[in-house]
Amino acid sequence: MTDTEMARSFLAPAQGYDALMGRYLPTLGPAFADAAGIGPHQRVLDVGCGPGGLTRELVARTGPGNVAAIEPSEPFGQACRERNPGVDVRAGIAEDLPFADAEFDAALACLVVGFMSDAAAGIAEMARVTRPGGVVAACFWDLAHMQMLRRFWAGAAELAGAGRGEVGLLGSREGDLFALLTGAGLTDVHEITIEARARYENFEDWWNPLTLGIGPAGLYVRSLDDEQRRAVRDACRRQFTAPDEPFTLDARAWCATGRRPSVSERAAPPASRPAPE
C-alpha cells in the first residue's frame, strides 16, 4: 500500500466516507474538541478535514467565520464546503499549510497523522500557524479498541495474505502522538484516550462501506478476487453474535494536545543550565 494508493482511496464520494468513518464523528468530534479546549471566539484550523465531521463541531463551538479547513481530496473538501457554509475550506496538505504564522488559536488533525507523508513536517506546520500559547491537537484510532476495524482485520486474518491494515500507521500506538507533538517543540503535551461509537442497522450496514475502496481496509477488500472477498465477508460475519440485529460498536482514539511555547518560554534558559557568574 503506497502513499499514492492511500491518497487515491480518499478520492471517494463523501457519502461512502460518511458510512464508513463519518458515523463516528458525532461522538468523536465533540470529545476531540473538548480535549483541545475549543470554545467561543477561537480561530481554529481543521487539518485533513475530510467531508467535515469535525468541522461541523468546530463551527458549532466558535462560528463558521472562525473556522478554516484544509483537505487534499477534492470530493471530501467540496463536501466539507457545502456542509459548512462560511468556512474557509482550502485544497492542500498539512505539510505545506497556506496560512500565515500564528494565524490560529488552535490547529486540530482528526484521524489524519497516519496518512500524512511526513507527519513530523505536518505537525511542525500546524505549530507554525498556531499562535504562541495556542493549542495543537491530533487524534488517531487505538486499533485494539476500535471495534469496527478490529473485527474487520480479525475476519481478514482468516484468509492467508491479509494485510496489516492500519497496524503500523503512525498514531495508532500509545505514545506516537505524544512523541510527534513533543518533537515539534510543543509544551504541556498530554496524551489521553477519547471514546466514540457508531450504530449499525445490521451486518450489511457494517460490511458495505468496507467495500468502497476507502482507507487501508477498503484498499484491502478491493485487492481481493470475488471468492476471497466472499471468504473475508463470511469470516467477518462470524465476528458478530447477532448479525441481522441492530448493534452499536465502541471505538477509542489516542488524543494528544500540546501548546506552542510563548515567546518568554522560548527565551527562558533550560532549568538545568547553570546561571552565568
Ligand X SMILES: C[S@@+](CC[C@H](N)C(=O)[O-])C[C@H]1O[C@@H](n2cnc3c(N)ncnc32)[C@H](O)[C@@H]1O
Residues binding ligand X (CB under 6 A): 10, 21-22, 25, 47-50, 53-54, 71-73, 76, 93-95, 110-112, 115-117, 122
Distance, CA of 242 to CA of 229 (rounded, Å):
21
The burial of 172, by beta-carbon neighbours within 10 Å (0-12 exposed, 13-18 middle, 19 or more buried), is given as buried
- Which of residues 135 and 235 has its CB atom nearest to ligand X in the complex? 135
CB of 93 to ligand X, least distance (A): 4
- Smallest gap from residue 66 Cβ to ligand X (A): 18
Which is nearest to 113 in space by CA: 52, 48, 160? 48
Determine the Cα angle at 248 with ends 15 and 111, to 5°: 50
Q: Identify which of residues 95 and 158 has a Cβ nearer to ligand X in the complex.
A: 95
* Closer CB to ligand X, 107 or 235, in the complex: 107
CB 135 within 8 A of CB 62: no
Q: Considering the complex, what minimum distance in angstroms separates the CB of residue 24 from ligand X?
A: 8
* Burial class for 47, CB neighbours closer than 10 Å (0-12, 13-18, 19+): buried
Packing angle of the helix pair 176-183, 119-128 (nearest 10 deg): 50
Cβ atoms of 62 and 39 within 8 Å: the answer is yes
What is the smallest separation between the CB atom of 5 and ligand X, expressed in angstroms?
A: 12
Using an 8 Å Cβ cutoff, are 155 and 235 in contact? yes
- Using CA atoms, how far apart are residues 276 and 225, in angstroms rounded to an integer? 71
| Grid cell locating 263 | 515567546
Cβ proximity to ligand X: between 166 and 235 the closer is 166
Residue nearest to ligand X (CB): 50
- H helical segments located in 63-129: 74-83, 119-128
Q: Of 16 and 50, which CB lies nearer to ligand X in the complex structure?
A: 50
Distance CA 138, CA 60 (A): 19
Closest CB 25 distance from ligand X, rounded Å = 5
Nearer to ligand X, 94 or 194 (CB): 94
User: In 36-134, which ranges are continuous DSSP H helix?
Assistant: 53-62, 74-83, 119-128
Q: How far is the CB of 97 from ligand X (least distance, A)?
A: 9
Shortest reach from residue 205's CB to ligand X, in Å: 18
Amino acid at site 273: R
Which is closer to ligand X, CB of 58 or CB of 235? Answer: 58
Q: Which CB atom, from 93 or from 136, has the smaller least distance to ligand X?
A: 93
Q: Shortest gap between Cβ of 233 and ligand X (angstroms)?
A: 22
